[in-house]
Structure 1
Amino acid sequence: MTRTTPARPVSVEAVFPELAPYRGRTTRLHPRPGHPGRHDSHVGGPMLWPGGEPWPVCHEGHQHEAEGYVPDEIRSARAAGEWPRSRPWPGAGRPGEDGPVPFVGLAQFFLRDVPGLAAGPDGADLVQLFRCPFTHGPHLERRYRLRWRRAAETERAERFLAAPPEVPLLRWEHELPEPCVVHPEEVDTYPWAEDDTLPAALIARIDAWDDAQVAEHGSDAPSYQFDLSIPPGWRVGGFPSWASTGPMAIGCGSCAAPMRLLLTAGGEEMDAGSHSWVPLEDRDPSLQGKDSIRSGAAIAHPTRLRFGRDRDLHVFTCPADPGHPPRWVLS
C-alpha cells in the first residue's frame, strides 16, 4: 500500500514567498511492520549479505550492564502484544567480554527503490546501516556503520547469510528493529528556521507568524517547524531537523567539504506536534484532525527503534568523495 502525505495546513510559499528558492525534496520512507526480504529496501529486515563475507563486529569496550532482553523473547512478546521479561546479565556483566560484539542490521536501501538516494563510492547503489547494540564510554556513545554495495553484483552471490550473529542479550528492547517494509514518497520540504539556516529577516517573519497563529487558534495552531518544514520519521535526503542541538555545520573530516544529508532515521513517525504529517492511509476518513489518526505502535513507532532520547539520527556523507567516512549526528 502506498502512503500519501496530506496537504499542508497552509501553503508554505503563499505565506512566505521568499522560501521558494530554498524548497527541497525529501523521500519519506514510511516504514510499516511487514515481511521484507533480503532483496528489498527495508528497516529491520534481512540484509543482502554474501554468505562468505564476515558480519561486521564492534571491537571496542562496552558499558557494564545488569540486565537485558533475549532477542527471540522480544520477537515473541511483540507478536503476542506483550512486553518481554528482562533477565539478569550473565557473568561479570560486561557485554562482549568473550569477544567482539556483532552489529545489529538496522536498514538497507536500494537506489532503484528510493528516489533521491545518493550513490555511494564507485557507483554503489545499495546502502546498509548498522549499529552496535551496546553503549561506549561514560557518555553512553553509540557506534554506527555504513556498508555500500553494488546491488547487481551482490545479488549474483552464490549464497547468502541465512541469519546474522546476535548477542545473547540486548540492553534495551528498542535495540531490536521490527522488520518493516517501506513506502517511499517524495515531498517538498524547507530548511529548519534557526540561526543562519535562512536569512535573519525571514526567520523573524516565521517566528512572528507562528506567534500570531497561536494567538488566533490556540495550541492546535499550525507552526512552521512542526507542520510546514520537515516531516518526522525515516527519510532520505532533504534537510536535517535540529530540534535538540540547534543547527550545526557538518564538514567532512577528510577534506573539509560541507557534507550532505544522506538519510535520517527517526525514533518516531509522529508526535504531539507533527501529527499533520500522518499519511491519509493511516487515518479514519470519517474523522478530522488528530482524532482521525489510527492508534497503535505500527503507525506511531513502527520500527521500535530509538535514537538517543527520541531524537533523529542524521547520517551525512561527503559529496566530493562518497568514500570518505560518514558522520553521525543525533539531533
Structure 2
Amino acid sequence: MTRTTPARPVAVEAVFPELAAYRGRTTRLHPRRGNPGRHDSHVGGPLLWPGDEPWPVCREPHEPETETEGYAPEEIRSARAAGVRARRRAWPGAGSPGKGRPVPFVGLAQFFGRDVPGLAAGPGGADLVQLLRCPRTHGPYLERRYLLQWRLAAQTERADRFLVAAPEVPLLRWEDELPEPCVVHPEEVDTYPWAEDDTLPAALIARIDAWDNAQTAQGGPDAPSYQGALSIPPGWRVGGYPSWASTGPLDIACATCRTPMRLLLTAAGDEMDPDSHSWMPLEDRDPSREGMASIRNGQSVGRPTRLRFGRDRDLHVFTCPADPGHPPQWVLS
C-alpha cells in the first residue's frame, strides 16, 4: 500500500514567500510492519550480505553492564508476535568490564537506490546502503557505535550464497535494541530548513517565530507550527534537512577534507508526536475523526520499527559530498 502525506495545514510559501528559495525534497520512508526479504529496502529485515563475508563485530571496549537482566532476541520476537511483553532474563556477569569481547553489530536497515528517490550514491557509485549498530555502550557518556556499509547492488546480488542469519548477542539490554521487520513505502515531499540560529536569515526566523506565537494565541496548543507541521516531517527519511530539536543547529564538516557534509538519512524511533501528527499519512487515518484521534493502529504506525535512538531523538547520518568514501558522521538531535 502506498502512503500519502496530507496537504500541509497551511501553504507555507504563501505566508513566507522567501522560503521558495530554500525548498528541498526529502523521501519519507514510512516503515510499516511486514516481512521484507534480503533483496528489499527495509528496516529490521535480513541484510543482503554475501555468505563468504564476515559479519562485522565491534572490538572497542564496552562499558560494564549495570543491568542485572536483559532480553533474549528470540524471546523478544516471540513476545511481539503474541502481543505480550518479553520476559527478562538474568544477565550473566553483570558489572564485568566487557573489554576485549567482540560484539556483533545489529543490522538496522538497508535501502536500495532503485527503491528510494534521492538516496545519494556511495563510494564508487554504490547504490545500496546498510545501517548497523553495536548493541553495547561506549565511554562515560554511553555513546553508541554505528556502521555504514555501502555496496553495488547488482554486483552483490550475484553472490553465490548469502548469510542466512546474522550472529546475535545472547541478551540485549532493552527491547528497543532489536528492530521490528518493516517494509518501506517511499514518498517524496517538500521540506524546509529548521528555523533557528543561522539556518535561515535572521529576519525570516523572527517572522516565523512571531507567526507561530500568533497561531498559538488564536488556535491554542493544537494550532500548526512551522517546525512541527510545515518544515520537516518526522520519522525515517532520506535527504532533505536535518531537524535540530535537541541540540540546536550544528555545522557538520567532513573530518577528512572539511567539506560541509550532507544529510544522507535520518532514523527515528517515532513517526509522530502531538506537534507533528498532521504528517501522518491518509492511509493511516480514520477520515471521520480529526487530529490525533484520527490516527489508527496505534503503535504499529506511531512506533513501527520498535527502535529507539538516544532519548527518543533522531539519528542523522551525514556523508561527504566531495568523497562519499570519507568517514560518515552520526548526530543525535
Identity level (%): 80
Separation of aligned partners in 2, 1:263 and 1:101: 25
> Retained in 2: the 8 A contact 1:43–1:107?
yes
Q: Distance in 1 between matches of 2:97 and 2:107?
A: 18
Answer with 274-283 or 284-293: which moved more: 284-293
Choose which of 93, 108, 111 in structure 1 pairs with 2:113: 111
Question: Greater shift after overlay, 114-123 or 78-87?
Answer: 78-87
Question: 1:1-331 counterparts in 2 under 5 A?
Answer: 1-65=1-65, 66-94=68-96, 99-331=101-333
Inter-partner Cα distance in structure 2 for 1:213 and 1:21: 24
C-alpha spacing 1:81/1:220, structure 2 compared with 1 (3 Å): same
Measured after TM superposition, the shift of residue 62 of structure 1 is 1.3
Write the letter of the residue equivalent to 2:149: R
Letter aligned with residue 101 of structure 1: V
Q: Secondary structure at the match of 2:220?
A: helix
Q: Which runs of 5+ in 2 are unaligned?
A: none
Shift of 1:7: 0.4
What amino acid maps onto 2:276 in structure 1? S
Amino acid at match of 2:62: H
Deviates more, 1:172-181 or 1:89-98: 89-98
Shift of 1:9: 0.4
Is contact 1:263–1:316 with CA below 8 Å preserved after alignment? yes
TM superposition shift of 1:92 = 4.8
Note if contact 2:261-2:321 (Cα within 8 Å) is conserved in structure 1.
yes
Using the alignment, how far apart are the partners of 1:95 and 1:54 within structure 2? 26
- How far 1:297 sits from its partner (Å)? 1.1
Alpha-carbon deviation of 1:97? Answer: 5.9
Tell me which moved more, 79-88 or 303-312: 79-88
Secondary structure, in 3 states, of the residue corresponding to 1:76? Answer: helix
* Alignment partners' CA distance in 1, 2:44 and 2:61: 25
Matched-pair contact (CA < 8 Å) for 1:131–1:145: yes
Instruction: Tell me the distance in 1 between the aligned counterparts of 2:76 and 2:100.
Output: 23
How far does residue 155 in structure 1 lie from its aligned partner after superposition? 0.2
- Retained in 2: the 8 A contact 1:62–1:94? no
SS of residue paired to 1:194: coil
How far 1:289 moved relative to its partner?
2.1
Deviation at 1:172, TM superposition (A): 0.7
Relative to the length of structure 2, the TM-score reads: 0.98
Indicate conservation of the 8 Å contact 1:95/1:134, yes or no: no
Question: Would you identify which runs of 4 or more consecutive aligned residues in structure 1 move more than 6 Å?
Answer: none
Q: Deviations over 1:51-82 (max 9, x none)?
A: 00000100011122222100000001111111
2:126–2:152 CA contact under 8 A, matched in 1: yes
User: In 2, distance between residues paired with 1:216 and 1:286?
Assistant: 25
Counterparts of 2:95 and 2:296, CA distance in 1: 41
Residue 96 of structure 1 and its aligned partner are, at CA, apart by 5.3
The 1:294–1:63 alpha-carbon spacing in structure 2 relative to 1, beyond 3 Å, is same
Give the Cα–Cα distance (whole angstroms) in 1 for the partners of residues 60 and 87 of structure 2. 28
CA separation of 1:67 and 1:98: change in aligned 2, threshold 3 A: farther
Note the alpha carbon deviations across 1:84-134, whole angstroms, 9 max, x for none: 111111135448567310000000000000000000000100000000001
TM-score when normalising by structure 1 = 0.98
Offset from partner CA, 1:273-302 (integer Å, 9 cap, x none) = 110000000001121222211142110000
Structure 1 counterpart of 2:54, one-letter code: P
Amino acid at match of 1:10: V
Whether the 8 Å CA contact 2:59–2:100 is kept in 1: the answer is: no
Measure, in 2, the Cα distance between the counterparts of 1:174 and 1:8.
Answer: 31
Name the CA distance, whole Å, in 1 between partners of 2:27 and 2:188.
Answer: 4
Aligned residues: 331
Q: Which is worse superposed, 189-198 or 63-72?
A: 63-72
The whole-number CA distance in structure 2 between the counterparts of 1:265 and 1:286 is 31
Shift of 1:41: 0.3
2:18 counterpart SS class: helix
Q: Quick one: structure 1 residues 314 and 295, their matched pair in 2 at CA, closer, same or farther if it must change by over 3 Å?
A: same
CA contact (8 A) 2:238 2:266 kept: yes
Counterpart contact for 2:106–2:133, Cα < 8 Å: yes
Provide structure 1 residue ranges, at least 5 long, that are not aligned to the other structure: none
Is the 8 Å Cα contact of residues 63 and 98 (structure 2) preserved in structure 1?
Answer: no
